[in-house]
A and B are shown apart, each in its own frame.
Chain A
């Protein structure tokens, strides 16, 4: 109580000022036409601004779930496109329905990268999907701009992906439009450059040609664009090109990937192993 009295004694005039000014401004704003209009306008601007900021903030917190739902949607679209492409290549242009399960050869599921290496000789990434989400060893991993790698290890909730930037990585890739195919490996220097080998020397190629997955494997479907031809040469005495391919994908700044499941993978592999 004593402190309160001291406070009033010390700041009494300021308190009186504020009190009286509040009354005055209340009167001004309510009983003067022009001030009332200006006040209404300014208050509208201010509350509009505040509402906008609040909306932005709450949008920000919704981004996570929005992202996830977009990823699921993307993977569905990706599945439609890839299956359509694969079917049209195999069967000509036929009406294709995703509901027709016999024509559904690949399924896609989104995943988030939670750890990655990029500057080693053998690079891996870890994703937040595991056995629970029916991830299995040998599934392909693609991103919106190309291929990423192959699932190598799976735990309950996570999976480790061997990226294409790995010395064991061998991807079957083809030149768009003429179907000559070779093996894509990573020579190990630049993370944006890979090397396409074993492409026969009579293949017609030019700089800038697009390289895509050939579909001659059980992992990646046909037609995912990987990169463009940056440079090519024939080593003396070799019968195949050595081609530098500039990737569309930049693994360094990737955050989301899609897991590709080839539904006929096991059947095909068993058949091929029996054959050997």
Chain B
């Protein structure tokens, strides 16, 4: 058994990718409703009713702020999907990282449900972030190489 140090707090999350990649033009309330449904489905499998749903709804709400921060100078091409090739690997990683920081922090906060465990929340967030960004970028590269 290898001791991973603080990384042993980590889990990896792929499902937020779906909300990440929903089209630009989708109105925010619809995005959030989709996130809610998605979250409830995830919760069914994790047996944690509402936790993922609450997190995902919040993350969907925050997506606009993330995109505003990462908007290139020329702006986004709103009709195009999020494409690794077009936006570049660096942009993609930054997007995934920012998006997941919010998602993971909210998720672990709701999961333990108490600020008493702030250290554990931060450790889980950071270690999961590293895993999840890595996995998500790999996943996108493998599953959709032509983009």
- List residues of A whose CB falls within 8 A of some B CB: 12-14, 16-17, 20-21, 23-28, 31-32, 34-35, 38-39
Contact = CB atoms under 8 A, between A and B. Distances in A.
B24 interface: no
Contacts of A34: 112-113
Q: Which 9 A-B pairs have the closest CB atoms?
A: A27-B50, A24-B54, A13-B28, A28-B50, A31-B49, A16-B29, A20-B57, A35-B113, A17-B61
B16 to A, nearest CB: 16
B143 interface: no
A16 B50 contact: no
Interface stretch (B31-39, B71-79, B81-89, B130-138): B31-39
A17 B58 contact: yes
16 contacts: A13-B27, A13-B28, A13-B32, A16-B28, A16-B61, A20-B36, A20-B53, A20-B54, A24-B36, A24-B39, A27-B50, A28-B54, A28-B113, A31-B50, A38-B113, A39-B113
Contacts of B48: 32
Given A24-B36, A28-B110, A13 B50 contact: no
Contacts, number: 61
B144 interface: no
Contacts of A27: 49-50, 53
A28 B54 CA distance: 8
Contacts of A12: 28-29
A13 B29 contact: yes
B96 interface: no
Contacts of B80: none
Contacts of B28: 12-13, 16
B33 A38 contact: no
Nearest to B54: A24
Contacts of A35: 51, 110, 113
Contacts of A25: 50, 54
A28 B61 CA distance: 19
A212 B24 CA distance: 92
A20 B28 CA distance: 13
B68 to A, nearest CB: 13
Nearest to B62: A17
A16 B50 CA distance: 16
Nearest to B49: A31
Contacts of B54: 20-21, 24-25, 28
Nearest to B57: A20
